[in-house]
Amino acid sequence: MSQTVEADVVVIGGGIAGLWLFRTLNTLGYRTLLLEQDSLGGGQTIKSQGIVHGGTKYTLTGQLTNASQAIAGMPERWRNALAGKGEERDPDLRSARILSEYHYLWSPGDIGSRMTSFFASKALRGRVDALTKEQFPAIFKHNGFRGKVYQLNEIVLDIATVTQALVNGLKDKTIKVDWSEQGNARLNKDSQGNIDSIELTEANGENVLLKASRYVLASGEGTEALLNTWGINDPKMQVRPLQMVMVRHDHPEPIYAHCLGTTPLPRITVTSHPDNDGKWVWYLGGGIAEDGVKQSAEALIATAKKEMKALLPWVDLDQAEWDTLRVNRAEPKQNRLLRPDAAFCQPVANGIVTWPTKLALAPNLSDEVIRLLQEDNIRPAGDENFSIPEGFSRPEICPNFWQGHFEEGKAS
Ligand SMILES: Cc1cc2nc3c(=O)[nH]c(=O)nc-3n(C[C@H](O)[C@H](O)[C@H](O)COP(=O)(O)OP(=O)(O)OC[C@H]3O[C@@H](n4cnc5c(N)ncnc54)[C@H](O)[C@@H]3O)c2cc1C
């Protein structure tokens, strides 16, 4: 027996992009389901550093100007949602954990007058504040530190708790899917190049035909395979690999900061994440993770040890445990330099293909999808009884991957 379920929107992929959109569409009364093939928030999202960028990092590269735009508004948008005072459609993220109210920029020594005057410039006023020694975060209040510290209006989040807050109360509208040949999900196309339906098989073997006005592809790196299955050639995806470094240790002070180097890309970006036993896991990205792609894990760890000794010599990491994590950033393929100031959303037949390009831009992606729905006159059906049959398994929420990582001996 086959049953048809009519939805307004089906979101495919439960990373930050899909989750924020899913929550917002439900709030607006759109009949929306979320399909996830693995765990919720478990892709790039959980592997991110959790920084809600406001674009300052990109002003350093000259990629953004004062006039830019979507990303500059993101920190305030998130702050409001985290305080439960967001726009009506925005999620209430009060239960999510803020790791740091601010992210910082530090220069290890004298970075020269160009940078100093740049930070004092009008373009960055209100976004970057130079701190006096008394205002430094504890990690930099050490006699051995000679550099400058700037405070950015960028919050740092514990991502697993954000995922939890976004899914709260909506779990029965999520479905775990498996697109493999023996799996429970199949994408059906029609002759016009539209997605006709998604055929889902329940645990008891019954079929459900899921039909939606719009299918939103928010599957991160998995979007390419979905586009291939659907037979769509444009847009195309690209991946940019990173090898991140994790270090677990006993130093009591956390650090949330980009270290300025000689190039516009931060030399290193460090965020700190609490482990199960109260230790910190410092997560190192930025230039070191980009350059580290070509290195073996052992070689990169050796580089990271040297960097940390050079940059934060008063922090004793001799007894620390180290590991690396390889991960790709998935983005639309673009010939020109990718402008990281807005999310990517492209309508394709009865679908919308999306990549946020930044965790911070999830609200912007959601706005853009809603604008596209409204443009096509797709209105919320507002059906409070909208539900799907119960016989499906639901995707789990992905825990923070460093939690238990070292105790369980997963580190190399
Ligand atoms: C190491 C690293 C650090 C970063 N740090 C930051 C940061 O500090 N701040 C910031 O703003 N951005 C950061 N980013 C970028 C940010 O993480 C990503 O832009 C963002 O998380 C992408 O979200 P997403 O929802 O598009 O993708 P993902 O988080 O990858 O989610 C995609 C989801 O879709 C699912 N999926 C895939 N294929 C299918 C399918 N066929 N069917 C169903 N489900 C499917 C996956 O299982 C996954 O759950 C970082 C990225 C990396 C890699």
| Ligand 1, atom 3, residue with closest C-alpha | 48
Residue 190's Cα: distance from chain center in Å?
33
- For residues 146 and 312, the model is more confident at 312
Per-state percent for the chain, helix, strand, coil, to nearest 5: 30, 30, 45
| Ligand 1, atom 27, residue with closest C-alpha | 220
Query: Of 48, 163, 398, which is best to mutate to test ligand 1, by the most ligand atoms within 8 angstroms of its C-beta?
Result: 48
> pLDDT band for position 389 (50/70/90)?
confident
Which one-letter DSSP state was computed for residue 174?
A: E
What backbone phi and psi angles, to 5 degrees, belong to 206?
A: -80, 150
| Ligand 1, atom 2, residue with closest C-alpha | 48
Q: How far is ligand 1, taken at its centre, from the CA of residue 251, in Å?
A: 30
104, β-bridge pairs: 151, 257
| Ligand 1, atom 52, residue with closest C-alpha | 48
> pLDDT band for position 403 (50/70/90)?
confident
228, β-bridge pairs: none
Q: How far apart are the first and last CA of the chain?
A: 50
Q: What is the DSSP string of 195-231?
A: EEEEEEE-TTS-EEEEEEEEEEE--GGGHHHHHHHHT
Q: How far is ligand 1, taken at its centre, from the CA of residue 309, in Å?
A: 31
> pLDDT band for position 401 (50/70/90)?
confident
- For residues 117 and 174, the model is more confident at 174
Query: Of 10, 24, 45, which is best to mutate to test ligand 1, by the most ligand atoms within 8 angstroms of its C-beta?
Result: 45
pLDDT at 66: 44
Nearest atom within ligand 1 for CA of residue 226: 41
- For the entire predicted model, the pTM comes to 0.95
pLDDT at 340: 62
Does residue 211 surpass a pLDDT of 70?
yes
Q: How far apart are CA 328 and CA 150, in angstroms?
A: 29
Q: How far is ligand 1, taken at its centre, from the CA of residue 15, in Å?
A: 5
- Return the number of other C-beta atoms located less than 10 Å from residue 261's C-beta: 17
Average pLDDT value over all residues in the chain: 91
pLDDT at 130: 87
Query: Of 198, 359, 369, which is best to mutate to test ligand 1, by the most ligand atoms within 8 angstroms of its C-beta?
Result: 359
- Is 16:9 a contact under the CB 8 Å cutoff? no
With 0-12 / 13-18 / 19 or more C-beta atoms within 10 angstroms meaning exposed / middle / buried, residue 390 is exposed
Does residue 61 surpass a pLDDT of 80?
no
Greatest CA span in the chain, whole angstroms?
A: 74
Q: How far apart are CA 237 and CA 168, in angstroms?
A: 31
- Is 106:260 a contact under the CB 8 Å cutoff? yes
Does residue 326 surpass a pLDDT of 70?
yes
Nearest atom within ligand 1 for CA of residue 16: 25
pLDDT at 115: 59
Q: How far is ligand 1, taken at its centre, from the CA of residue 29, in Å?
A: 26
| Ligand 1, atom 51, residue with closest C-alpha | 48
pLDDT at 124: 61
- Is 352:214 a contact under the CB 8 Å cutoff? yes
- For β-strands 103-107 and 257-259, DSSP reports them as parallel
What is the CB < 6 Å shell around ligand 1?
12-18, 35-38, 42-45, 47-51, 53, 177, 179, 218-222, 226, 242, 244, 285, 327, 329, 355-360
pLDDT per residue as tens digits for the range 251-305: 999 999 999 887 778 899 999 999 988 899 999 999 999 999 999 999 999 999 9
> pLDDT band for position 67 (50/70/90)?
very low
pLDDT at 108: 84
Does residue 393 surpass a pLDDT of 70?
yes
- For residues 21 and 261, the model is more confident at 21
Q: How far apart are CA 132 and CA 308, in angstroms?
A: 23
Does residue 65 surpass a pLDDT of 90?
no
Nearest atom within ligand 1 for CA of residue 53: 11
Q: How far is ligand 1, taken at its centre, from the CA of residue 220, in Å?
A: 5
pLDDT per residue as tens digits for the range 225-238: 999 999 999 999 99
Q: How far is ligand 1, taken at its centre, from the CA of residue 283, in Å?
A: 17
Which of 257, 263, 306 is CA-nearest to residue 283? 257
With 0-12 / 13-18 / 19 or more C-beta atoms within 10 angstroms meaning exposed / middle / buried, residue 371 is exposed
> pLDDT band for position 383 (50/70/90)?
confident
Q: How far is ligand 1, taken at its centre, from the CA of residue 116, in Å?
A: 34
pLDDT at 113: 43
- Return the number of other C-beta atoms located less than 10 Å from residue 58's C-beta: 20
pLDDT per residue as tens digits for the range 107-165: 887 555 455 555 555 556 567 888 999 999 999 999 889 889 999 999 999 999 999 99
Angle, in degrees to the nearest 10, between helices 16-28 and 159-167: 30
- Is 71:338 a contact under the CB 8 Å cutoff? no
Q: What is the mean pLDDT of residues 71-91?
A: 94
pLDDT per residue as tens digits for the range 26-52: 999 999 999 999 999 999 999 999 999
Q: What is the mean pLDDT of residues 48-57?
A: 88
Query: Of 102, 104, 219, which is best to mutate to test ligand 1, by the most ligand atoms within 8 angstroms of its C-beta?
Result: 219
Nearest atom within ligand 1 for CA of residue 361: 11
* % pLDDT > 70, the chain: 91
Q: How far apart are CA 148 and CA 316, in angstroms?
A: 21
- Is 298:411 a contact under the CB 8 Å cutoff? no
Q: How far apart are CA 145 and CA 153, in angstroms?
A: 23
Domains in the chain, CATH or no CATH each = 99-155+239-329 (3.30.9.10)
pLDDT at 186: 97
Q: What is the DSSP string of 101-118?
A: S-EEEEESS--HHHHHHH
pLDDT at 264: 74
